[in-house]
Chain A
Amino acid sequence: MPEPDPEAIIAALLPATGIPVDPAWRAAVAANLRVAGTIAAALQSFPLSDEVEPAPVFEPGR
């Protein structure tokens, strides 16, 4: 996974969220995204077999 660019993500996706972001908040948002991107890169570098399913919480019939 390439190193994500937080500013590029903000520029591309923020308009789609409808969240009005004060320019003064952007640096902190970018810092949080940078941490998330580092974690995501670590997760995606870990080999999981195709058979490993996601683990959300769902029980049919409830």
Chain B
Amino acid sequence: MSVDALLDRDATGIAAAFRAGEASATEIAEAALARIAARNPVLNAFTDVTADRTRARAAALDAARSHRHALPPLAGAPVAAKNLFDIAGVVTRAGSRINRDHAPAPADATAVARLEAAGGLLLGGLNMGEYAYDFTGENAHDGPSRNPHDTTRMTGGSSGGSGGAVAGGLATVALGSDTNGSIRVPSSFCGTFGLKPTYGRVSRAGAFPFVAAFDHVGPLARSVRDLAAVYDVLAGADPADPACTRRATEPVGQSFEAGIAGLRIARLGGWFARNLLPESSAAMEIVCTALHVQREAVLPEAERARGAAFLITMAEAAELHLPRLRTRPGDFDPAVRDRLIAGALLPAAWVQSAQRFRRWFAARAAEVFRDHDVLLAPATPMHAPRLGTQSVTLDGVELPLRANIGVHTQPISFIGLPVVAVPVWPSGAALPLAVQVIAPAWREDLALRVARVLEREGLARAPVAPFGA
């Protein structure tokens, strides 16, 4: 097998190949950099390539292997990070024009450092929607990231380059962030596995903020075992993130294979059964049929929850960006700027109403989980739309596309629950779509177990798109 072909494996598979001597880390690094050179002009997933660092890290791993030192779990696997993560020596653009005037980051974000310490070969920074206020993967400054399964279509966002890099065979694992759906939406559109951990489980230190109340960090990957391995690497206390829990870590590297016997799995009805195009309904049917799901559960007032997330997002993001809005409003993506300005004008009582509703909704979700272990819901109402699409018709009503891609993801991140986005391919469809597998707080293991069963049965998969698709 050529080294280039190795790159279509998952991270765990590449690490095994490196360990077994099938390829050196330097050969893997060079193959990965060559792929970026060949494919990125089309996919526009990478905005920054850290080739010197990649090569230096590869050389260190090769030396460690030749000296028979213990190798970290992901040794030799090419990885990358959304460009809101600090990478030492690289300017953290966070998808914006304004932040690229900043000095290069002096140090790595915690998640980047942990991923590299686990053996990941960091390739660079990835395209994203401006300041993460985006569901499309389109970027006014760097151009859109393009969906590897159809380059005329959106990757989804805001972690658009993360989805494109993983599905396009440029990186095995990509770090993303998810505030309202920004890991789960690109996982759905690009057909990757994605994990949004419990709020506070993975450190956000060194990741440019968006909405402190909802910001999460997690991986997009090609297999459930990679999600589990990367989660175990990322999880853990970090005093540099005030919301990062000091709760002991609960590794999932073995338990994700435990199967689903005895788990009470329900599909979410109500809000989550509405606003679906046929392909999303089909994805839900595939998953519910495979898992023999008979139960339906209702998270009451999910539509209001989505609205409350929308308001808190507007208000927190507006306050965060006020200094830039005052001095450089013309340098924002107009679609982001106008929402931020509106957010700066919200009466305080509107936002407090949303925060109080959040408490109420979290308590209702906890009640639902007394009777169920795992909940299933669509990740997106539709598969990847064509780039530039402005509107979508859901349940007979024409709506702006941009704001409505996340209608099913927002109520879940609103209350910090862990979710695995599981990519499925409705029969005959050329495009994937994900289903959200939602677990109670701190029970990533349950969501990963369900995802693994779907993967094992061949229903969920995250193949690398043939280049030129």
Contact = CB atoms under 8 A, between A and B. Distances in A.
Interface of A: 9-10, 13-14, 17-22, 25, 28-33, 35-37, 39-40, 42-44, 46, 48, 52-57, 59, 62
Interface majority SS on B: helix, strand, loop or mixed? helix
Interface of B: 200, 212-213, 239, 242-243, 301, 303-304, 307-308, 310-311, 314, 322, 325-326, 329-330, 334, 337-339, 341-347, 349-350, 352-360, 362, 403
Contact of B304 (A10, A35, A46, A54): A46
A52 B301 contact: no
B242 A46 contact: no
A43 B345 contact: no
16 contacts: A17-B344, A20-B329, A21-B329, A25-B334, A33-B342, A36-B346, A37-B350, A39-B354, A40-B311, A43-B307, A43-B353, A48-B356, A53-B356, A54-B359, A55-B356, A59-B242
Nearest to A34: B342
A46 B357 contact: yes
A32 B307 contact: no
Nearest to B355: A54
Contacts of B356: 48, 52-55
B334 A42 contact: no
Given A52-B359, A52-B360, 7 more contacts: A33-B342, A40-B354, A42-B304, A43-B354, A52-B356, A53-B359, A54-B355
A55 B239 CA distance: 21
Considering residues B239, B338, B355, B403, which has the most beta carbons from chain A within 10 angstroms of its beta carbon?
Answer: B338
Contacts of A19: 322, 325-326, 329, 341, 344
A10 B341 CA distance: 10
B358 A54 contact: yes
Nearest to A62: B242
B150 to A, nearest CB: 30
Contacts of A29: 338, 341-342, 345
Contacts of B212: 57
Nearest to A58: B242
Given A43-B311, A62-B242, A56 B213 contact: yes
B386 to A, nearest CB: 23
A25 B330 CA distance: 10
A31 B338 CA distance: 9
The 5 closest A-B pairs by CB, nearest first: A32-B342, A54-B355, A39-B307, A40-B350, A28-B338
A40 to B, nearest CB: 4
A33 B132 CA distance: 20
B345 A25 contact: no
A26 B133 CA distance: 19
B405 to A, nearest CB: 15
A40 B221 CA distance: 37
Contacts of A44: 349-350, 353
A37 B350 CA distance: 8
Contacts of A43: 304, 307-308, 311, 350, 353-354, 357
B345 A13 contact: yes
A46 B307 CA distance: 12
B102 to A, nearest CB: 21
B357 A39 contact: no
B297 to A, nearest CB: 20
